[in-house]
Each structure stands twice: as structure tokens, then as C-alpha cells.
């Protein structure tokens, strides 16, 4: 069977690795992939999505799995379906749950799904009046995709007004900031919940937690995510039931009722305030690095993806390992601010039950080099969370490249 995975991160690498561990006979293609995915399959060059779909058709690709949101926003699912290729991911319209925060917030409001109180503005005067009606801190969000950088938590009214003004004028995020969402600040703990859907039925994966800040104790600038672990004991059964019944189920039903059937993975970024879940954001693809802890916990990932694309989730039996998984992201020297010099990666050895998922790497003469951004992710599994964390950190100590930085406190909220 031939599988094409779209994206270039450790998320996409981890999907391929989990599928390969389940079934050695799979043949992998990546577009664009990275320096390490070429060890698992073939990296493809492509000019546009039509071109990629034609290649897939001609080469009998059996299943395409979309990793990154950029492809979804451009309508890759609609294009591949037009060519009759099985593809895991939502249509361009359904992907608006992620590509427009204004669409997502309006959707939540009209479907009575719990989220922070908010206003949507294109005009600075009206935005300022709304800002003045809130108590700081105040959250200001650019409407469009900004690679995880479009959310600013302002400490004062003046700061919030400046941030909103820079967004609306196009100064900070160009077109993506021409509409802003302003919302009340929610104080609680965050969870990432992933539901895979075939449009009608869904399965929920173990609860995870990301670590978005660069530094220990959630300090420093925002990043794409510096580490994750699963299952999170912060999500007890009652909370998970509430998330399923009050957030996932009504969201999928309303998407269908509104003519935007959602197939693929719905990623709910939640804030839990006084035991109640609030939707901070939806993404329409796996989280990175959350995917790197979820994939190795799933024993039958291929059947899961196929059940989603073929509408067979109703009687699907998701098989999960009973382990905990911890992922620690190792980033390049200047991440998340600027590019970093190329640096050779050296790996001493892998502790038991551990592996690496690769992201920002290039390959030269069979050697891997850190090429910038988040470089690689050290992942370990164990029957206890603490043991999984210790193994992941043992692996980090065995990996080195010039300027490597990683957080030392992944999973701290569950282990303190
Ligand atoms: P988002 O992209 O909307 O998930 O926002 C990115 C991050 O900003 C979240 O993971 C939270 O840490 C934070 N954030 C977003 N919205 C709020 C809010 N209303 N209250 C508190 N923190 C928020
Ligand atoms: N780790 C958060 C994200 O992928 O958006």
C-alpha cells in the first residue's frame, strides 16, 4: 500500500513511523518531507496541489494523510477527492474552523459551545471601545493563520489597543490581521484534545498537554510547542465525558448540519476553568508535538485513518497501548526568533522504548544536520509517566548539535 504524507515536521515523521511499525509493507511518500523522512520513503517535489494530485493518481497512492494546515487551507482535500484519491483531512470549508478565528468564534456562539466572551472587529474605534469594557489581561487575536504567533495577551488597555491597531492596519500580520478577535482572558490549565471523525462518528484520543512557551515554567516567547505528554491525568473521566458531549459531539453535528461535514482530526485547544472546558481554538489537523506522543500509543493507526476516510468509524475498535508517552522538542539556537547556522547532529545511543521524530533537518552524505526551527523530538514510552519522562530526557542527553535548546520540565503539571 502506498501512503503520501503532506508536511515537513516531526508530526508527519511520527505518523509514518507509527504506520511503519504497524505494517512493514507500506511504501511512504512525503511532500515536501524533510532530511530524515527520506530515510522512511521518498520526498516529492511538486509545483502545486493539482500537480501533486495528478502524481498521486498516476502512481496509485492509496491514502493521503494531511499533516499541516497550510495544505488544508488551500483545499487539498477537495482537489484530491476530485481526482478520486482517499485523503484524510477536512475540506477547505470545514478547515475554516482553524483558518478563520472569527468563523470559529461565531460558530461556537451560534451553537452554544462554551468559549471566552469575545468581539470581532475590523474597525479600531469599535475594537477600542470593546477593549475598554474588559478587565486586563485582554487577549487579542489575528483572524487568519499566523503560524501560532497571532495571539497576544495584553496586560493593559493601552497595550491591547496598540496590538489591535497594528493588526488592523496590516502592520503586524498583513491580511491575516485585517480582522481581529478580542476576548476575555481565561485563567485555568490547558488541554489538547484530538477527535478523529469520519463525518458522522468519532473517536477521541488520550488527552495531551502541549508546552507552548520556550522556557521552563512557561516563561519566554511563544513557540509552536516545546513538548507534550499523554495521557494527561489532569483530564479525569468526568471531564473527558463533558468534553465529548458538550464540545466534540455538538461541533461535529453542527458542522454537518451547516453543510460543512468534518472528516479528519479535530484538535480542540481547551482551557479548563473551575473544572469546566472552554474552547480556546480549533485546529483541523494534529498538533505538533502532540502527534508525536499520540501516534506511538496507537496500535492500529492504519485502520484508524482508513476508517475515517471510508466512513467506518461506527464500529471501530481503537487499540491503545497502556503506556504514557513523553516528547521533548530540541530546537535550534535562535528558535523561535530567527534562522540558525547549520549544525551536525550526533546521537550516542537510544535508551529502551525511545525514539526520535525529526523535523528541521537536512541530510548530506547520509549525515543529518540541524537546519533550523524545531529540529527533532525525543520521545519515550513507559508504564509510568515519570519513567517515560526520565527516558525522554536520557535520550535528550544522548543527542547533541550546536546551539540545541530544550525545556527541562515537560509534563510538570502532571508530575508536581
Ligand atoms: P490560540 O491560538 O487561540 O489557541 O491561542 C494561543 C495560546 O494563547 C493558547 O494556547 C493560550 O495559552 C493563550 N490564549 C488564547 N486565548 C486565551 C484566552 N481567552 N485566555 C487565556 N489564554 C488564552
Ligand atoms: N502544538 C500546537 C499546535 O500544533 O498548534
Whether residues 85 and 127 share a domain: the answer is no
| Residue 395 · residue 349 · CB < 8 Å | no
Give the closest residue (by CA) to ligand 2 atom 5.
Answer: 287
**Phi and psi torsions of 94, nearest 5°:** -65, -30
Question: How confident is the model over 87-135, as pLDDT tens digits?
Answer: 999 999 999 999 889 999 999 999 999 999 999 999 999 999 999 999 9
Specify the ligand 2 atom closest to the Cα of 285: 4
**How sure is the predictor about 211, in pLDDT bands with cuts at 50, 70 and 90?**
very high
For the CA of 291, the nearest ligand: 2
Domain-embedded: residue 77: yes
For the CA of 359, the nearest ligand: 2
**How sure is the predictor about 200, in pLDDT bands with cuts at 50, 70 and 90?**
very high
Whether residues 70 and 24 share a domain: the answer is yes
Domain-embedded: residue 226: yes
Say yes or no to pLDDT of 161 above 80.
Answer: yes
Domain end position, chosen among 125, 149, 184: 184
Say yes or no to pLDDT of 26 above 80.
Answer: yes
The answer for 414, left when phi > 0, alpha when psi is -120 to 50, beta otherwise, is alpha
Look at residue 353 and give its three-state secondary structure: coil
Give the closest residue (by CA) to ligand 1 atom 6.
Answer: 151
pTM of the model: 0.95
Question: How confident is the model over 128-156, as pLDDT tens digits?
Answer: 999 999 999 999 999 998 877 789 999 99
Give the closest residue (by CA) to ligand 1 atom 3.
Answer: 281
Whether residues 276 and 387 share a domain: the answer is no
Output the nine-digit C-alpha cell for 67. 499533516
Whether residues 124 and 177 share a domain: the answer is yes
| Residue 87 · residue 63 · CB < 8 Å | yes
Domain end position, chosen among 163, 184, 205: 184
CATH code for position 241: 3.30.470.20
Domain-embedded: residue 108: no
Is residue 242 classed exposed, middle or buried when 0-12, 13-18 and 19+ CB atoms within 10 A define those classes?
A: middle
Domain-embedded: residue 102: no
**How sure is the predictor about 416, in pLDDT bands with cuts at 50, 70 and 90?**
confident
Domain-embedded: residue 109: no
Give me ligand 2 centre to Cα 129, in Å.
Answer: 32
Give me ligand 2 centre to Cα 287, in Å.
Answer: 4
Give the closest residue (by CA) to ligand 2 atom 2.
Answer: 287
Specify the ligand 2 atom closest to the Cα of 286: 4
Whether residues 153 and 241 share a domain: the answer is no
Specify the ligand 1 atom closest to the Cα of 278: 19
Domain boundaries, position 173? 117-184
Whether residues 75 and 173 share a domain: the answer is no
CATH code for position 136: 3.30.1490.20
Q: What average pLDDT does the chain have?
A: 96
Domain-embedded: residue 394: yes
Strands 399-400 and 361-364, by their bridges, are unpaired
Whether residues 67 and 163 share a domain: the answer is no
Say yes or no to pLDDT of 254 above 80.
Answer: yes
**CB-defined site of ligand 2, < 6 Å:** 148, 210, 224-225, 283, 287-288, 290
Whether residues 197 and 297 share a domain: the answer is yes
Domains contained in the chain, number: 4
Give me ligand 1 centre to Cα 116, in Å.
Answer: 10
Whether residues 206 and 155 share a domain: the answer is no
Give me ligand 2 centre to Cα 26, in Å.
Answer: 27
- Residue 139: CB within 6 Å of ligand 1? yes
**Mean predicted confidence (pLDDT) in 31-54:** 96
Nearest residue to 285 via CA among 72, 30, 19, 64: 72
- Residue 69: CB within 6 Å of ligand 1? no
**Mean predicted confidence (pLDDT) in 48-64:** 97
Specify the ligand 2 atom closest to the Cα of 225: 1
Domain-embedded: residue 318: no
Specify the ligand 1 atom closest to the Cα of 150: 2
Helix 124-133 / helix 157-168 crossing angle, nearest 10 deg: 160
**How sure is the predictor about 331, in pLDDT bands with cuts at 50, 70 and 90?**
very high
- Residue 186: CB within 6 Å of ligand 1? yes
Domain-embedded: residue 319: no
DSSP strand E in 177-242: where? 180-184, 189-198, 202-204, 209-210, 213-215, 219-222, 227-230
Whether residues 209 and 295 share a domain: the answer is yes
**How sure is the predictor about 210, in pLDDT bands with cuts at 50, 70 and 90?**
very high
Question: How confident is the model over 175-189, as pLDDT tens digits?
Answer: 989 999 999 999 999
| Residue 259 · residue 164 · CB < 8 Å | no
Whether residues 153 and 265 share a domain: the answer is no
For the CA of 67, the nearest ligand: 2
Give the closest residue (by CA) to ligand 1 atom 15.
Answer: 280
- Residue 210: CB within 6 Å of ligand 1? no
Radius of gyration of the chain from Cα atoms?
A: 21
CA 230-297-43 angle, 5° bins: 110
Whether residues 194 and 178 share a domain: the answer is no
Domain end position, chosen among 278, 310, 342: 310
Residue 149: the pLDDT is: 78
Strands 63-66 and 138-142, by their bridges, are unpaired
Amino acid at each position: 500500500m502506498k501512503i503520501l504524507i503532506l508536511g515537513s515536521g516531526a508530526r508527519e515523521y511520527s505518523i509514518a513511523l507509527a504506520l511503519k511499525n504497524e505494517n512493514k509493507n507500506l511504501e511512504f511518500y512525503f511532500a515536501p518531507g524533510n532530511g530524515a523522512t527520506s530515510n522512511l520513503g521518498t520526498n516529492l517535489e511538486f509545483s502545486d496541489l493539482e500537480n501533486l494530485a495528478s502524481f498521486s493518481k498516476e502512481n496509485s497512492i492509496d491514502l493521503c494523510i494531511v499533516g499541516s494546515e497550510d495544505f488544508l487551507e488551500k483545499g487539498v482535500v477537495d482537489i484530491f477527492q476530485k481526482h478520486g484519491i482517499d485523503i484524510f483531512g477536512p475540506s477547505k470549508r470545514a478547515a475554516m474552523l482553524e483558518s478563520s478565528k472569527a468563523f470559529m468564534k461565531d460558530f461556537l456562539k451560534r451553537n452554544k459551545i462554551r468559549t471566552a466572551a469575545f468581539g470581532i472587529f475590523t474597525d479600531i474605534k469599535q475594537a477600542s471601545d470593546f477593549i475598554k469594557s474588559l478587565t486586563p489581561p485582554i487577549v487579542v487575536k489575528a483572524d487568519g493563520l499566523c503560524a501560532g504567533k497571532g495571539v497576544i495577551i495584553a496586560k493593559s488597555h493601552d497595550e491591547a489597543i496598540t496590538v489591535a491597531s497594528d493588526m488592523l492596519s496590516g502592520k503586524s500580520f498583513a491580511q491575516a490581521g485585517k480582522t481581529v478577535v478580542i476576548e476575555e482572558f481565561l485563567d485555568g490549565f490547558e488541554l489538547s484534545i484530538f477527535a478523529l471523525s469520519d463525518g458522522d462518528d468519532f473517536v477521541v484520543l488520550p488527552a495531551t498537554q502541549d508546552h507552548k512557551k520556550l522556557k521552563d515554567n512557561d516563561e519566554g516567547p511563544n513557540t509552536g510547542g516545546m513538548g507534550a505528554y499523554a495521557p494527561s491525568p489532569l483530564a479525569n473521566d468526568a471531564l473527558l465525558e463533558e468534553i465529548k458531549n458538550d464540545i466534540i459531539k455538538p461541533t461535529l453535528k453542527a458542522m454537518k448540519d451547516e453543510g460543512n461535514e468534518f472528516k479528519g482530526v479535530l484538535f480542540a485547544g481547551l482551557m479548563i476553568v473551575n473544572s469546566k472546558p472552554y474552547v480556546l481554538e480549533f485546529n483541523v489537523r494534529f498538533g505538533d508535538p502532540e502527534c508525536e506522543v499520540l501516534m506511538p500509543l496507537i496500535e492500529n493507526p492504519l485502520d484508524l485513518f482508513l476508517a475515517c476516510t471510508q466512513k467506518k468509524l461506527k464500529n471501530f475498535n481503537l487499540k491503545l497501548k497502556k503506556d504514557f508517552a513523553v516528547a521533548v522538542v530540541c530546537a535550534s539556537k535562535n528558535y523561535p526568533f530567527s534562522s540558525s547556522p547549520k549544525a551536525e547532529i550526533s546521537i550516542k545511543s537510544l535508551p529502551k522504548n525511545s525514539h526520535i521524530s525529526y523535523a528541521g533537518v537536512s541530510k548530506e552524505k547520509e549525515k543529518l544536520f540541524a537546519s533550523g526551527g524545531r529540529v527533532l523530538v525525543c520521545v519515550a514510552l513507559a508504564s509510568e509517566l515519570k519513567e517515560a519522562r526520565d527516558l525522554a530526557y536520557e535520550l535528550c542527553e544522548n543527542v547533541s548539535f550546536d546551539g540545541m535548546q530544550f525545556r527541562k520540565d515537560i509534563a510538570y503539571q502532571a508530575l508536581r
